[in-house]
Amino acid sequence: MFWQGATGQVLLGFLSNLLFVLILTAVGVVYVSAVLSRRSRPLRRLFGIGEHLPNKVRIMVSSIYLRQGGALGVDGPIGFYGPVMNQSEYVSAQLLRDAIRTRPASRPLRALLDQLGLLDTVHDPIVCDIEFSPQYVDGKDGRPIAAHEYQPPKLPGDDRIVKLVEDSMKESGVYILVGGPAFNVVVAHILSDKHAPLTLDRSRALVVARGDGEPERTYQQRREGSVLVDYFVLQKISEYGSQKSTVFVCAGLSSLGTAAAVGQLASRWRHLEDKYGGKDFALLYEFDNRRNVALPAAEDVDKALATVKEPIWQR
């Protein structure tokens, strides 16, 4: 028979490979379409990615300055100085990045469909990077800053800080700001604006809520037995700056509060998109901070988020 001969076997192998490619392509089209409709499109709507914003999200964590000799090594003080990340902020930012960017399983299928010309470029995958917020501690001639020389930035009205913020956000896109105003200068700058519905006062450990036509309301950390009642802020600001970028602020009165704010966005972005779509929002949440440590573990964040209910203030 023909199929048992050498020519038939070659042709049969070719048809089998062709059938496999067609099936894989069909599966890829169905899978990627499902991802776009169920996940990518709501994300793009929430972030404002579309007509004028590229598909790039930048998560900017706090830049905590370490002075020379401030770190203790085995043989005594070490010479490292410069910006460092808060571990809990970075870990929570990684979880948020994983929630935003394209799933690993869809990447090879997306690449195949792109080669075959079956994907529209508007559906390019969302890219997400983690980076430092601008370093606002300066030393003369490149040398490290000394303790007695450091002065916190004065906001609002500090032209140098404004330029730092503008330079760090000169590219159009989506910016997710992680950290309180004490260490993230972009957060400090944005929350110093009188138009920001929610702002933080870290020195007095309170959140200030500004309502439309309502007097300012303050929410301060307080103890109820052995539990510290704490707060975090989640805000979205569209069309920020001349580039019309989208800005999210994830900030707490404590390290755990900031990590919880990022975790809330990572785990509840679908709920936020269902409720607000592409609109702005300012949300204040209350949670139980049982340990109040500088470097909360993932377990601390999970326990804190388990106590979060609906926003206690929103706009």
Distances 248 to 102, 196, 210, 214, 236 between C-alpha atoms, Å = 20, 12, 18, 24, 4
By mean pLDDT, which of 76-80, 164-168, 193-197, 220-224 is the weakest? 76-80
140 DSSP 8-state letter: G
Q: What one-character-per-residue DSSP string does 168-184 give?
A: HT-S-SEEEEES-TTT-
Measured in whole angstroms, how far is the alpha carbon of residue 235 from the centre of its chain? 12
pLDDT per residue as tens digits for the range 75-121: 666 666 777 888 899 999 999 999 988 554 455 555 555 555 555 54
Compute the distance between CA of residue 107 and CA of residue 28 in angstroms, rounded to an integer: 10
Domain range annotation of the chain: 51-102+124-314
pLDDT per residue as tens digits for the range 300-314: 999 999 999 999 999
Compute the distance between CA of residue 66 and CA of residue 68 in angstroms, rounded to an integer: 7
Compute the distance between CA of residue 227 and CA of residue 285 in angstroms, rounded to an integer: 16
